[in-house]
Amino acid sequence: MRHVLVALALLLSAACGSAPASIPVPTPSASPSPTVVTDFQGRSVQLPRSVERIVSIGASNTEFLFALGAGERVVGVDDFSDEPPAALKKEKVGGVKVNLEKVTSLRPDLIVTIKFSDGTIERLAAVGAVVLVVDPQGLGDVARSATLIGQAVGADGQKLADDITRRLQAVKERAATITAKPRVFHEVDATDPAKPFTVGPGSFVHDLIELAGGVNVAARAASPYPQLSAEELVRSDPEVIVLADADYGVTPEQVAARPGWSGIAAVRTKRVYGMSANLVSRPGPRVGEAAEAYAKLLHPAVFR
Amino acid sequence: MRPAVALAGLVVALVASAMLGVLAGAVAVDPRDVLAALIGRADAPTAAIILELRLPRVIAAALVGGALGVAGALLQGLLRNPLADPYVTGTSAGAALGSVAAVAAGGPALLTPLAAFVGALGSVAVIWRLARIGGRTTVLTVLLAGIVISSFAGAGVTLLIVASDRLSLRLRAVLDVLVGGVTSRGSAELVVAAAIVAIATVLALALARRLDAYAFGEETAATLGVDTEDTTRSVLVVTALLTGAAVALAGLVSFVGLVIPHALRPLVGARHVVLVPACLLGGATALVLADLGARIALAPAELPVGVITGLVGAPFFLLVLARSARSGA
């Protein structure tokens, strides 16, 4: 089946390739030709020439829009968009489920959204706005997100992307000189402390841990946000535990009181730290800041 | 003498299944190291894995299964209905609503069993009222009432999930409540649950004689000198205590309360003074084994134990339903 698809794709591209002679090439003029970009869902998106009303779905997308100076033009955000503070004042368009009526009533000309697999993207497209899917997962996707959203709103996304890359690179170079890399457990959610959720390869936090000079104890997990059994956790004996669920009231004292956790190295040596989910759970423009914060926790003597 | 032999056999089965439960887990531990951990001679990580993670989980499974087994025996005796159990009557669903509400309100963990008890008591009281309409309890009324109560409680749980940030961000954990899952619990929770189950079982034994009289109908029981009003109320409270303790620990575990009394009656007879302890042991054994299955079936992923009990229990339920329909109940 896959071969057939590949063959079909080749045929199509060949057909397109042989065509240019018959297609009139537009001459560059005052009004630039519409830009077509490929978004994170592989869709070809023709960007609007000017964007006045933006709906942003996804906390990282909202942060990018504000960082690119397009905050004024954002008319609606999803319930999870809480940064920067100005985003809190925008109209809300829903959380886990997007409220399509609300989105429609805001008359957006651009909707920047994370991925949905339940048909939300198609329904958003039917609203009449241009829909751009931006859903960074790994650290490498962050710069591309900045560039893409910059293109869409007519801002210098490349500069923001370069800034982010430079900051990450600085942390990486300093951490590379450190030979003693602590084993790290990053807790996303431990409502059931016997099976806490953590980060695995493919998630940007996993990339952050490795970049900041740590070794993720879930490095061999099969998915970006796996569940680790407490048995495996005790066996892997992390030297640092980072609580990304600290905002929900999880404290180092609670961690120490969980059945089986008291003997873990990080608990014994009191290297259990809360970290704001707002900073470390979204691959947005502040990811450089997150890398620096992480590096400080792992190597307080080197990163001050 | 035969009941004593059967009970002894059930004790042996429980101990054997518990040993299997402690041997299997997410990480491989040599059986000799397991033994060393149990007698306090293992290294710290192994001791933590066996004593603080696996053993409490096996104990939790045993408590949940035992509680549901006894609750099933009580409900079947009281309603004279072979299909009654905490799950199909909606008692568990009421308990789940109570426990989810306690979590949503952010109360301390030890409040959960109490809230679950209140929810279970509410459901079981409604079942009892509905089941008595027309003077006699029929299989159908009890099942229909159970469906209604379960959907009401289910809607309540969904409402709480949508309305509460605390829960909507923890959908996975709420799902575990709805499908039924055993997990390693802290010793405080286990001690509370064990105390509830122990007290409730003693109360159930005290009610055993009077429940036996119910086999011939409530009126006959009354002519035999049983205070039926008082007995009924006591049985409902004890059932709610057991269901609440089970749901607070493991959520909605289906069909254990149905299958266990059925499976054991041919073995130990219908006298509650034997049936109740037999169901405690048999239910405990069954759920320890089901939890073991849940852990190893798709390892390293874990199934909620309710998936196992549902897959095994639902066909059993249909068999009993068909049989009771044929006998014209």
Per-residue pLDDT of chain B in tens (329 residues, 90 and over written 9): 488 899 999 999 999 999 999 998 888 889 999 999 888 888 888 998 999 889 999 999 999 999 999 999 999 998 887 888 898 889 999 999 998 888 888 777 778 889 999 999 999 888 888 777 666 666 677 788 888 999 999 899 888 877 776 565 555 566 666 767 777 677 888 999 999 999 999 999 999 999 998 887 777 888 888 887 888 889 999 999 999 999 988 888 988 999 999 999 989 988 999 999 999 999 999 999 999 998 888 777 778 888 899 999 889 888 888 887 777 54
Question: Which of B197, B296, B282 has the alpha carbon at shortest distance from B248?
Answer: B197
Are B71 and B116 in contact by the 8 Å Cβ rule? The answer is no
- How far apart are alpha carbons A219 and B285 in whole angstroms? 37
What is the distance, to the nearest Å, from the Cα of residue B196 to the centroid of all Cα atoms in its chain?
A: 12
Tell me: pLDDT of A18 over 70: no
- First-to-last alpha carbon distance for chain B, in angstroms, is 33
- First-to-last alpha carbon distance for chain A, in angstroms, is 55
Q: Per-residue pLDDT averaged across A24-42, rounded?
A: 67
* Domain layout of chain B by residue ranges: 60-326
- How far apart are alpha carbons B10 and B4 in whole angstroms? 10
CATH classification for the domain delimited by B60-326, as one of 1.10.3470.10, 3.40.50.300, 1.10.1370.30, 1.10.1270.20: 1.10.3470.10
Q: What pLDDT is attached to residue A19?
A: 38
Does B295 touch chain A if contact means CB atoms closer than 8 Å? no
- For residue B183, which residues of chain A lie inside 8 Å, CB to CB? 192, 194-195
- For residue A192, which residues of chain B lie inside 8 Å, CB to CB? 172-173, 176, 181, 183
User: The domain A177-298: what is its CATH number?
Assistant: 3.40.50.1980
Q: What pLDDT is attached to residue A21?
A: 40
Q: Which residue of A has its CA nearest to B174?
A: A191
- How far apart are alpha carbons B251 and B228 in whole angstroms? 31
Question: Which of B67, B83, B203, B65 has the alpha carbon at shortest distance from B138?
Answer: B83
Q: What pLDDT is attached to residue A126?
A: 86
Question: Sign of the CA dihedral B304, B305, B308, B313?
Answer: negative
Q: Which of A95, A189, A260 sits opposite B49 (nearest CB)?
A: A260
Contacts of A76 (CB under 8 A, 6+ apart): A55, A56, A90, A91, A92, A93, A102, A103, A106, A108
- How far apart are alpha carbons A181 and A216 in whole angstroms? 10
User: What confidence tens digit (pLDDT) does each residue in A106-139 have?
Assistant: 999 999 999 988 888 888 888 889 999 999 988 8
- Which residues numbered 173-202 in B keep a CB inside 8 Å of some CB on A? 173, 176, 181, 183-187
- How far apart are alpha carbons B160 and A277 in whole angstroms? 24
Share of chain A above pLDDT 90, in %: 56
Band the pLDDT of A69: cuts 50, 70, 90.
very high
Contact at CB, A230 and B53, closer than 8 angstroms: yes
* Domain layout of chain A by residue ranges: 34-155, 177-298
Are A115 and A134 in contact by the 8 Å Cβ rule? The answer is no
Tell me: pLDDT of A191 over 90: no
Q: Rounded to whole angstroms, what are the CA distances from B56 to A173, B51, B69, B83, B175?
A: 46, 7, 20, 31, 21
Question: Sign of the CA dihedral A243, A249, A252, A257?
Answer: negative
Q: Per-residue pLDDT averaged across A191-204, rounded?
A: 88
Tell me: pLDDT of A29 over 70: no
For domain A34-155, give the fold.
Rossmann fold (3.40.50)
DSSP 3-state of A56: strand
Model-level pTM greater than 0.80? no
- For residue A79, which residues of chain B lie inside 8 Å, CB to CB? none
Contact at CB, A229 and B27, closer than 8 angstroms: yes
Q: Which residue of B has its CA nearest to A245?
A: B169
Give A51 or A1, the one with higher predicted confidence.
Answer: A51
Contact at CB, B187 and A259, closer than 8 angstroms: yes
User: Hey, of B169, B185, B296, B305, which one would you mutate to test binding to chain A, going by the most A CBs within 10 A of its CB?
Assistant: B169
Tell me: pLDDT of A9 over 60: no
What's the gap in Å between the CA of B57 and the closest CA on chain A?
A: 9
